């Protein structure tokens, strides 16, 4: 009996150890020293199409046995590339921010639908790429980022769940740091119970009570927040994504972008700088989903477009930014239906548009034109214009028609008057 109990205990501990073990990778630089360390657990939930016009869901776990041959380390940017199975890979891109902190700009998951082990009966045999923006930012240099809590990152076809994460990019001196930057989800929540001070007034003995004078309580002055000065219109940027280096563009976008966000009682606005030296452009093109990722020093913008075979639309928007004071904010909405147009055409809206993404985030677009699907020869197709542009186009037409009618009325009155004058002239003769 004791042997059986010991065996059960050993088996339980073995299962617990297996479940708690993650994927651990140490990447060395050209000098042979450690430059990037990762120990984490990742699960994928992938929706793919099978025969019968239905979808199946594949559950994939990042295995412990991975290859990190494609990983790179540099002074300002690094990439963790993990390959596994038959053509599957998972990568994280890191960048240094002002030499004091670093962040994860994007996570890209590539999966091979021809792998029948994970995707049985798949209609497609191609490799799909999904790029997402995680909430890993403002990590101190020479510290490890730690997050035991589960963080789910969602897209149209793939959901990723990260937990038990311990990562350090830009390792100095060839050894992992003992200092840790902990994610907000792991920090303890402190509840402060407000207390109301009690004032007790004790009358002095043998004192004379004096009737109070009629006094007027001055009004309480409520501090007001000075609004942020209006920014100049953002510069229009032109962005394109290619499926590979030798192909033409599969996603085109052109717009000026301003974001407005609220933190507490303060409202701030920021313009996206489209300068290629400031803002990096990446993304992916798919059959049903395409993504555009814009990364600058002050913000990261992830736009996800969905395609239902007839129309496309902006389905999800994820924006992470940092204020001038260094405060990081992040807002997302994955249930949008904006910039809708027929597949094979583009969507255009030249007028300034304001969209409320969440109760804390708004975006303003200028000179907008997007086409995430069906791009031919690397140029925009015929555009479907927004209502604002159509109305602005109708106004001059209406004014022209009104002027034409007015001219016709004047001419008609002139000819009628002239005819009467000629008739009266004949009678007098």
- Residue ranges of domains in the chain: 21-186, 232-412
- In whole angstroms, how far apart are CA 318 and each of 149, 247, 284? 20, 28, 16
Chosen CATH of 21-186 out of 2.40.160.110, 1.10.1040.10, 3.40.1360.10, 2.30.140.10:
2.40.160.110
- In whole angstroms, how far apart are CA 287 and each of 173, 174, 352? 45, 43, 30
Task: Specify the pLDDT at position 194.
Answer: 44
- Of 313, 307, 311, 316, the C-alpha closest to 286 is 307
Task: Specify the pLDDT at position 185.
Answer: 77
Task: Specify the pLDDT at position 371.
Answer: 97
- Decide if 21-186 and 232-412 have a common fold: yes
- List, run by run, the mean pLDDT of 10-residue segments along the chain (429 residues): 40 37 88 94 91 86 92 93 94 89 91 93 90 85 91 80 93 91 73 42 39 40 43 93 84 96 86 93 91 92 92 94 81 91 94 89 95 94 81 62 85 81 59
Task: Specify the pLDDT at position 385.
Answer: 92
Task: Specify the pLDDT at position 406.
Answer: 85
Spelled out in words, what is the top-level CATH class assigned to the domain 232-412? mainly beta
For every residue of the chain, which 3-state class applies, written as one string? Answer: CHHHHHHHHHHHHHHHHHHHCCEEEEEECCCCCEEEEEEEEEEEEEEEEECCCEEEEEEEECCCCCECCCCEECCCEEEEEEEECCCEEEEEEEEEECCCEEEEEEEEEEEECCCCCCCCCECCCCEEEEEECCCCCCEECCCEEEECCCEEEECCCEEEEEEEEEEEECCCCCCCCCCEEECHHHCCCCCCCCCCCCCCCCCCCCCCCCCCCCCCCCCCCCCCCCCCCCCCCCCCEEEEEECCCCCCEEEEEEEEEEEEEEECCEEEEEECCCCCCCCEEEEECCCCEEEEEEECCCEEEEEEEEECCCEEEEEEEEEEEECCCCCEEEEEECCCCEEEEEECEEEEECCCEEEECCCCEEEEEEEEEEECCCCECCECCCEEECHHHHHHHHHHHHHHHHHHHHHHHHHHHHHHHHHHHHHHHHHHC
Task: Specify the pLDDT at position 36.
Answer: 96
Task: Specify the pLDDT at position 16.
Answer: 35
Q: Which residues contact 174 (CB under 8 A, 6 or more apart)?
A: 31, 33, 34, 35
């Amino acid at each position: 009996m004791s042997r059986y109990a010991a065996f059960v205990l050993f088996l339980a501990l073995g299962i617990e150890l297996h479940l708690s073990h993650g994927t651990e990778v140490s990447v060395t630089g050209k000098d042979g020293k450690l430059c990037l360390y990762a120990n984490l657990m990742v699960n994928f939930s992938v929706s793919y199409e099978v025969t019968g016009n239905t979808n199946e869901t594949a559950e994939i776990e990042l295995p412990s046995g991975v290859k990190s041959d494609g990983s790179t380390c540099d002074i300002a940017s690094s990439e963790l590339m993990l390959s596994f199975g038959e053509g599957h890979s998972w990568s994280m891109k890191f960048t240094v921010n002002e030499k004091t902190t670093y962040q994860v700009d994007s996570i890209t998951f590539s999966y091979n639908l021809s792998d029948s082990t994970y995707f049985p009966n798949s209609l497609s045999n191609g490799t799909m790429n999904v790029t997402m923006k995680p909430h890993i930012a403002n990590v101190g240099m020479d510290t490890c980022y730690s997050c035991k809590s589960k963080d789910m990152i969602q897209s149209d076809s793939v959901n990723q769940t990260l937990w038990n994460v311990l990562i350090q990019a830009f390792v100095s001196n060839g050894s992992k740091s003992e200092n840790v930057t902990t994610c907000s989800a792991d920090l303890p929540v402190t509840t402060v119970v407000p207390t109301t001070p009690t004032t007790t007034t004790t009358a002095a003995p043998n004192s004379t009570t004096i009737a109070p004078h009629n006094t007027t309580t001055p009004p309480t002055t409520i501090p007001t927040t000075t609004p942020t000065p209006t920014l100049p219109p953002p510069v229009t940027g032109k962005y394109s994504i290619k499926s590979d280096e030798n192909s033409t563009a599969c996603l085109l976008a052109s717009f000026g972008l301003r974001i407005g966000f609220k933190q507490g009682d303060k409202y701030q606005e920021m313009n996206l700088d489209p300068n290629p030296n400031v803002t990096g452009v990446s993304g992916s093109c798919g059959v049903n989903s395409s993504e555009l990722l814009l990364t600058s020093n002050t913000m990261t913008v992830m736009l996800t477009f969905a395609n239902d075979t007839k129309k496309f639309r902006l389905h999800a928007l994820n924006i992470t930014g940092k204020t001038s004071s260094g405060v990081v904010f992040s807002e997302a909405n994955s249930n949008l239906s904006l910039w809708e147009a027929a597949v094979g055409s583009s969507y255009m809206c030249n007028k300034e548009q304001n969209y409320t993404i969440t109760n804390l985030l708004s975006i303003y677009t200028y000179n907008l034109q997007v086409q995430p699907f069906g791009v031919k020869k690397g140029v925009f197709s015929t555009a479907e214009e927004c209502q604002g542009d159509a109305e602005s186009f109708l106004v001059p037409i209406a004014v022209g028609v009104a002027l034409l009618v007015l001219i016709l009325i004047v001419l008609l009155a002139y000819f009628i008057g002239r005819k009467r004058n000629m008739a009266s002239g004949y009678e007098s003769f």
